[in-house]
Structure 1
Amino acid sequence: MQRLDQQFIDNQWIPSRGERRLPVTDPYTEQVIAEVTAGDPADVAAAVAAAQRALPAWRELSGAQRAIYLDGFADSLTRRREELIRLSSTNNGKVLDEAAIDLDDAIACYRYYAGQARELDQRQGRLIALEMEGVEACCYHDPVGVVGLITPWNFPLVTSAWKLAPALAAGCTAVLKPSEVTPLPERALAEVALEIGLPQGVLNLLQGDGAGIGAPLAAHPGIDKVSFTGSNRVGEAVMRAAAERSIGVSLELGGKSPIIVMVDADPEQAADWVMAGIYFNAGQICSATSRLIVHEAVAEPLYAALAERIDALVLGNPLDADTDMGPLTSARQRENVRAYLAMAEQEGLLVVRDASHRELPGQGYFVAPTLYRDVPVESRLWREEIFGPVLCARSVTDENEAIALANDSEFGLAATVISGDSRRASRIGRQLQAGSVWLNSEQLVLPETGWGGFKRSGIGRELGPWGLSAYLEVKHLVGPADGGDDT
């Protein structure tokens, strides 16, 4: 068992100031594979101070110079690919293919923001068209400053890339807090920083929980912005801490995403997209399309196709190439999902597939892939984020009813529309209150397209040029047209 009692601050592994130890568990074997020291506010203070010292020199580099380091992250992660895939699978419970997607998407993100950093150079000092004669205005983009980045446990490497890559591209320095549940994959980022020669203090990585690291980081007076991905409860606490100092936040929070299957859809093809939308990563995905809204004319064949596919899913060791679905990431998350399954039993929900239809592996934090049909809209399972392999379905009679039902949620992160008519799918998609809508496809999350939600699903956007803008301040220099510019 590894004992990890050091924090990465100012390009050095130094002993943590904290005294508590946190176990890191393999969710398949249920064995403790590592122990990390939970950091405390003194660690936060040291990391923030290092990031502040590094900021002046880092922000003065050109975007092209910073891009060299971002490409370095991508190159190093590529060299470590097989090692990190297995490490992610072991720490998180992902099957190997899912762990590979997590890593490959992270690599693509660093590559994308290397390009964005180079383009940023071309945007600096652009003149703005003015109607007033004799006056000139030009626009600059300055980094926000020192940023606190707090990432979740379900997709460690890619969610850290979504934050760290644009922050570094913008010229910010960072303090990164991985989840205490899955700290192992992201520790590799510190090793990468040393390998590529990232300047001291630009990236600082702190291990620990919310009480020891997360809350003090969000509240630290030296932090200029906080980016958080996780639950609404914690996200709202981060926002309150930021509000005390009127600093910016980016929040990617909960989801209860719909998947709409219209009357002209092919039930067999639709079933494949429904399966990918809810059972990928054992349902532990913020954009999981966990509310199935299906036209009554195709409901029965779709339920039959889903039952067949659910029965065929192989649950087991995530390191086994034949496994389709691994365990949930923690015992705590398994208990959270089991609590919803108990509610479903109390409510008398109509089961299509659940644990009574299969034998679960003898070890690991497994929950059976589950499907309920004709779920009342008042049910907590229909309305609340479960974050597990649980799909709730209802049938509708027409397009307008489907749209209204899809939008009847406090969340608005994502949605999927499946229809034999692409124009209908697009028309429905335009009316859905969601940040990302997939039309007749699996969930494609690309570096070039923004990521974030409507309503209680968060504030701001990650990815694309919007992700870079989240770490930039806009500055205008305005003066006489003959004032010149000495930059």
Structure 2
Amino acid sequence: MATFEENLSKANRFLARFVSDGVLNQIGGEAVPAQDGATFESISPVDLKPLAKVARSTAPDVDLAAEAAKAAFPAWAAMPGEARKKLLHRIADAIESRAEEIALVECMDTGQALRFMSKAALRGAENFRFFADRAPASRDGQSLRTPGQVNMTTRVPIGPVGVITPWNTPFMLSTWKIAPALAAGCTVVHKPAEFSPLTARLLVEIAEEAGLPKGVWNLVNGFGEDAGKALTEHPDIKAIGFVGESRTGTQIMKQGADTLKRVHFELGGKNPVIVFADADLERAADAAVFMIYSLNGERCTSSSRLLVEESIYERFTAMVAERASRIKVGHPLDPATVVGPLIHPVHRKKVTDYLALGQAEGATLAVGDAGFEGPDGGCYVRPALFTGVDNRMRIAQEEIFGPVLVAIPFRNEAEAAALANDVRYGLTGYLWTSDVTRAFRFTDQLEAGMIWVNSENIRHLPTPFGGVKSSGIGRDGGDWSFEFYMETKNIAFATSAHKIPKLDGHGG
């Protein structure tokens, strides 16, 4: 394993190109600045120093990207699935060959610890391989028979699509959205989050160097109110896949309404982990700690509400507190670091404001320190645990999106279900119990798109990923991704000379 000093030296070498050249758009296979020359500055959450000047795109830039995607669509859609499969596998190979570069750049761009980002490229490559293998069968449908008729269904790519990705784990999430779009035969205009634009630039370069035709994948950088709005309103963009805040999702839906834009939203969460007294408490504590404090707590599927049966509440929260207090906070390139700096000073203030709010609401800050100062003046926050929380408190209802866990006791199964469901979100839930009948009963009641029983979040790519309520619309994964990026056609064939109604007065 490389040392911190070795990692930092390599990271600085990889980042040098962005410092000197900036982050450009990629439109029609060409690296271009914004048409008006505007840029914005991207800073590292590690030390708040500038990383790069980034193209600040507006509507004219999005127009060019949409035109390029529209022009490239017919040939890409017509390409045989086997050919797309081979090309997407080449992209996966190229991603893996640059895994170290991707990981180190992502760490400095997002503040995520290397122990997690070291797998970002491998997970991204896995996403490409998974959907590449499904590309040949993406248009397959069904044969539906009725007397005198055979119906055949097929699917066709919907057209150019927009993909808007978030700033947490941006590389992996970009591949998760873009790989199935390409496998389905769609062309793409990608707008990454302005807080973490660097690896999106690497990714589109990797794809085109691997042989992806020009214009199939276009990149426009910028802010949501400019580039994002222009993309969601553009008439040539047939669908928007978005990962981010619920509030932004509602704006995108409004902006896309005039063009009847199809949308897929993976939005926020305030996910419960429910621990009953009969659970394996050691494993449950490890899983609860992992799901809130890994990735700096900046993940939509984090288990941010800890619901614990009253009889074990004090014991279990003490177990979690002990584990949380031992987590190392530090520079993301230090191999020992678990929690790095949060993405941006604006977000750090949001999280620390919630720490102050929780105490003002009457909860006990059992672990954590709102005044913690990390190395190099970055956006650091210690892992925090609130005990004595009431589910009506804002810290229990609102998505904090940081390493902050709130612990709430419950008396019985009915109260646990009521508490778990008493939020506007419904992305995931985690249940810990040794009673299999309870597991069936409880998961039936839980309002969430995904539930793990006696497990942390372990993704199986063929399964559906998505939430209910304010946590999203639609599902990713397996064939569900193709259902979003493709239109279904039905073709009916007459198999006999059936009677055709006549309207000329001689029949009926």
- What interval of TM-score do these two structures reach, taking the shorter chain for normalisation? over 0.9
1:74 equivalenced with 2:92 (yes/no): yes
Q: Contact 2:114/2:332 (CA < 8 Å) preserved in 1?
A: yes
Aligned match of 1:313: 327
TM-score by length of 1: 0.95
* 2:128 match: 110
In the alignment, does 2:416 pair up with 1:402? yes
Q: Give the distance between the partners of 1:15 and 1:391, measured in 2 at CA.
A: 42
- Matching residue of 1:51: 69
Take 1:3 and 1:380, find their aligned partners in 2: how far apart are those partners? 44
Aligned to 2:213: 199
Tell me the TM-score normalized by structure 2.
0.91
Corresponding residue for residue 202 of structure 2: 188
Residue 359 of structure 2 contacts residue 365 of structure 2 at CA under 8 Å; is this kept in 1? no
Q: Deviations over 1:256-307 (max 9, x none)?
A: 0000000112332211011011111111001111110000111112111112
Tell whether 2:272 aligns with 1:272: no
Aligned to 1:393: 407
Q: Distance in 2 between matches of 1:171 and 1:101?
A: 27
- Aligned-pair distance for 1:361? 4.0
Q: CA RMSD in A?
A: 1.7
Offset, 1:356: 7.2
* Alignment partner, residue 276 of structure 2: 262
Deviations 1:352-403 (A, max 9, x none): 1121797744621011111111211221110010001111111111112111
Aligned equivalent of 2:455: 441
Indicate the residue corresponding to 2:344 in structure 1.
Answer: 330
Q: Which residue of 2 aligns with 1:137?
A: 151
Larger displacement relative to structure 2 (416-425 or 325-334): 416-425
SS at match of 2:118: helix
SS of 2:335's equivalent in the other structure is: coil
Distance 1:482 1:27 in 2: 70
State how far apart, in whole Å, the 2-side matches of 1:425 and 1:2 are. 55
Which one-letter code corresponds to 2:428 in the other structure?
Answer: A
> Equivalent residue of 2:145, what SS?
coil
CA displacement at 1:343 relative to structure 2: 1.2
Q: Residue 246 of structure 2 corresponds to which residue in structure 1?
A: 232
Aligned residue type for 1:255:
G
Partner of 2:492: 478
Residue 267 of structure 1 contacts residue 301 of structure 1 at CA under 8 Å; is this kept in 2? no
In 1, Cα distance between equivalents of 2:416 and 2:250:
30
Per-residue CA distance 1:308-327 (angstroms, 9 max, x = gap): 11111111011010111111
Contact 2:73 2:159 in 1 (8 A): yes
> 8 Å contact 1:3–1:36 — kept in the other structure?
no
> Match of 2:252, as an amino acid?
V
CA 1:215–1:30: 2 relative to 1, 3 Å: same
Please tell me whether residue 87 in structure 1 is matched to residue 105 in structure 2.
Answer: yes
Deviation of 1:5 after TM superposition, in Å, equals 5.4
**What is the distance in 2 between the residues matched to 1:14 and 1:25?**
21
Question: Residues 5 and 397 of structure 1: is their aligned pair in 2 closer, same or farther, counting only changes over 3 Å?
Answer: closer
Distance 1:266 1:193, change over 3 A: closer
Cα distance change on mapping 1:13 and 1:384 into 2, 3 Å = same
Unmatched segments (≥5 aa) in structure 2 = 1-18, 498-508
Q: Which amino acid aligns with 1:470?
A: F
User: Matched residues in 2 for 1:15 and 1:9: separation?
Assistant: 10
Rounded to whole Å, the distance in 1 between the matches of 2:35 and 2:370 is 48
Q: Residues 414-453 of structure 1: CA distance to partner in whole angstroms, max 9, x if unpaired?
A: 0101113344334322321111111111211232111110
**1:303 corresponds to which of 294, 314, 317:** 317
Q: Distance in 1 between matches of 2:317 and 2:37?
A: 52
From 337, 340, 346, the counterpart of 2:354: 340
| Aligned: 1:382 with 2:404 | no
Paired residues, what number?
479
Q: Which moved more, 1:361-370 or 1:24-33?
A: 361-370
The farther-off stretch of 348-357 and 78-87 is 348-357
Q: Letter of the aligned partner of 1:103 in structure 2?
A: A
In structure 1, list runs of 5 or more residues that go unmatched.
none
CA distance in 2, matches of 1:129, 1:161: 38
Q: Give 1:342 deviation, angstroms.
A: 2.0
The CA deviation at 1:462 is 1.1
Structure 1 segment 28-67 matched on structure 2, within 5 A: 28-67=46-85
Report SS of the residue matched to 2:462: coil
1:136 alignment partner, SS class: strand
SS in structure 2 at match of 1:424: helix
SS at match of 2:241: strand
Q: Deviations along 1:65-85, whole A, 9 cap, x unmatched? A: 111121122111111111111
Alignment of 1:14 onto 2:32: yes
Whether 1:291 and 2:305 are equivalent positions in the alignment is yes
Q: Secondary structure at the match of 1:244?
A: helix
What one-letter code is carried by the residue in structure 2 that aligns with 1:66? R
Amino acid at match of 1:152: P
Q: Distance in 1 between matches of 2:330 and 2:23?
A: 32
Report the equivalent of 1:148: 162
Identity value in percent: 37
Pick closer, same or farther for the CA change 1:149–1:399 going to 2, 3 Å: same
Q: Which letter does structure 2 place at the counterpart of 1:93?
A: G
Distance 1:206 1:300, change over 3 A: same
CA distance in 2, matches of 1:33, 1:4: 8
Q: Which amino acid aligns with 1:113?
A: F
CA distance in 1, matches of 2:468, 2:377: 39
Match for residue 506 of structure 2?
none
Match of residue 128, structure 1, among 112, 127, 144: 144
Tell me if the contact between 2:328 and 2:338 (Cα under 8 Å) persists in the aligned partners.
Answer: yes
